[in-house]
Amino acid sequence: MLTSHLSLPRSVNGRLAPAGSAPRGRSFGSRARAHCDPVAPPRPAPVVLGLGSLMETFAVEVRRAESRALDVPLAAPFTIATSRLERVGNVAVRVELRNGCAGWGEAPVLPSVTAEDQGTAMEKAREACEALRRSPAMGLGRALGQIAAILPGHDFASVRAGVEMALIDAVANSIGTPLWKLFGGASNTLTTDITIPIVLPAEAADLALKYRKQGFQTLKLKVGKDLKADIEVLQAIRAVHPTCSFILDANEGYKSSEAILVLDKLHEMGVTPILFEQPVHRDDWEGLGHVSRIAIGKYGISVAADESCRSMDDVKTIVKGNLANVINIKLAKLGVVGALDIIEFAREHGLDLMIGGMVETRLAMGFAGHLAAGFGCFKFIDLDTPLLLAEDPVFGGYKASGANYRFSNARGHGGFLHWDNIV
């Protein structure tokens, strides 16, 4: 079970009461963040509850819920082994509770990875929002269960995550606590890697040099389309950033023999990646296990399952066959509640954890960052995609200084959109 703890005010009837110092709530048309209505009962003595208890005891009653398309251009095209992206086409979600407190979420859409496209995500988000608006007051856990019933499995995991984020953020706003504390309070800072997509060697070197000057020590390199070109890019990056740590991410692009050949070539160059992410196709369980055994046994390199881990059943398959050393947790492929379950299971079975994302704004990435900082158990942090966008539509939220993220004591994840500007 979840063991995160926080101090929450409890009302006399057993429901959790909103914090008494909340600022005035705003309507959906407002340009400012909706926090909470100004009038609230006096704060009783706090009691300590875990996140599981919060799901059972906090009464959720949704007053408004809405989703809108969230379109943001990338600073440069983002190419991986399976797709090329020039702009973000995600879905923003806003949920406002009866107490006036609101939360924000984001459903990231990456058709080569998520099952939804933007149109499907919009349609399903509207369906979930409508169901929340029509529902009577219920416990947070039951409300999240209702969302899961409307948006089941991997087919709707991304939009489910967006709605879950918004609802949990609204609850965190209600109790006046930041999400990193809600998720355990281990830390309020993270250090992320940054990704170099599939580009020519000269461009990769330019990016590596820029990121070196910005203080990034871990570079995540997208590979998997052309074995020879991948090696040339690695050599170019190594020349300008010789002290950096590497994560290789093949996004299913290699056959197992090719993945092992890459490791052999890197060894000849004197380069040892700290992680090799999803080297083979997500359904190639035998190949994944083979690469993992060679990588860890011969070179001491961990292998992460990303696309191969889309459900608890996938994680159980990985554990049973000892097929990978690391699980990449992405809220958009698991949902928030599903991710929490898998984090617990993976830790119980000795797997290391990575936190990642799709191509997201600071709404979804902020939520994931709060989760990772609060838990404090993630060995690899890959929360960089807002840094790759041409513009930042999110106000408030975490502060980024190069590779370092700091999460404040603002309630929830602290990020919001000017809703009128989201067409």
Residue 333 known to be catalytic: no
State the Cα angle at 164 between 160 and 170, rounded to 5°.
155
Tens-place pLDDT, residues 265-275: 999 999 999 99
Catalytic residue (choose from 116, 193, 249, 307): 249
Mean pLDDT of 12-31: 35
The pLDDT score that the predictor gives to residue 37 is 54
- The mean predicted confidence, pLDDT, of the chain is 88
Catalytic residue (choose from 66, 306, 314, 382): 306
Please list the alpha-helical segments (H only) found in 46-139. Answer: 51-57, 118-134
Tens-place pLDDT, residues 278-316: 999 999 999 999 999 999 999 999 999 999 999 999 999
Tens-place pLDDT, residues 39-77: 444 333 333 345 677 888 899 999 999 999 999 999 998
What is the pTM assigned to this prediction?
Answer: 0.89
Catalytic residue (choose from 252, 277, 314, 360): 277
**Percentage of the chain with pLDDT > 70?**
87
Q: How far is CA 30 from CA 21, 25, 39, in A?
A: 20, 10, 19
Give residue 10's pLDDT band: very low, low, confident or very high (50, 70, 90). Answer: very low
Contacts of 219 (CB under 8 A, 6+ apart): 193, 194, 195, 196, 208, 211, 237, 241, 244, 245, 246, 247
User: Contact 65/93 with Cβ under 8 angstroms?
Assistant: yes
Contacts of 316 (CB under 8 A, 6+ apart): 345
Range scoring the smallest mean pLDDT among 35-49, 127-141, 305-319, 374-388 = 35-49
The pLDDT score that the predictor gives to residue 83 is 79
Catalytic residue (choose from 124, 181, 330, 333): 330
145: helix, strand or coil: helix
The pLDDT score that the predictor gives to residue 35 is 57
What does the alpha-carbon distance between residue 298 and residue 315 come to, in Å, rounded to a whole number? 24
Residue 222 known to be catalytic: yes
Tens-place pLDDT, residues 314-354: 999 999 999 999 999 999 999 999 999 999 999 999 999 99
**Position 281: which residue type?**
H
Residue 298 known to be catalytic: no
Q: Greatest CA span in the chain, whole angstroms?
A: 68
> Residue 86: which H helix or E strand, with range?
strand 84-97
Residue 306 known to be catalytic: yes
- pLDDT of 210 above 90: yes
Residue 330 known to be catalytic: yes
Catalytic residue (choose from 124, 220, 222, 333): 222
